[in-house]
Amino acid sequence: MEEIFNELHKEFNSETFDVNLNMPYKFWSFSEIKRGDCTILAGGMLTLYVDGTINWRCDIRSSDSGDEWDGDFICYSANDVVLWQEHFHFDISSQNVTKRWDETRGANPSRANSFNEASKLSFNCNC
């Protein structure tokens, strides 16, 4: 049976100004997530920039070789309206090695249009 992690409605943590990209952003951070042989270590973070760019960054590992991680982020308004959804995939491949998963998706008009409303985030994932 596939185990699904559903951290529904992770509250919005911060809105600030990113000096690297020179634009406002919001982010959501996560505690440790375990699925089967795989673990995303505490501190994983999804960042949404005002132009609709998103970045998912975490440290990930598996106790078994050949594992892959799939996850879907769903962004909600404060009133639980779905604003956008993105699927991510990572091939862990090596066992007992911590790897950095750092993936950026470029500017996107629909994510940009949702920036002011973006309030909550769910991450449904499995390994």
* pTM exceeding the 0.75 threshold for the entire prediction: yes
- pLDDT of 74 > 90? The answer is yes
Of 4 and 89, the one with more pLDDT: 89
CA distances from 25 to 1, 7, 63, 91, 111 (A): 37, 21, 34, 28, 12
Residue 37 lies in domain: 5-126
- 3-state class percentages of the chain: helix first, strand second, coil last, to nearest 5: 5, 55, 40
Q: Identify the band that residue 18 occupies on the pLDDT scale cut at 50, 70 and 90.
A: low
Partner residues linked to 60 by β-bridges: 40, 99
Q: What is the per-residue pLDDT across 43-72, written as a single tens digit (0 to 9) for each? A: 999 999 999 999 999 999 988 888 888 899
Residue 66 to residue 106: CA distance in whole angstroms = 28
Q: Identify the band that residue 16 occupies on the pLDDT scale cut at 50, 70 and 90.
A: very low
Query: What is the reported pLDDT for 79?
Result: 94
Q: What is the per-residue pLDDT across 77-121, written as a single tens digit (0 to 9) for each? A: 999 999 999 999 988 888 888 989 999 999 999 999 999 999 999
CATH number for 63 = 2.60.40
- Overall number of domains in the chain: 1
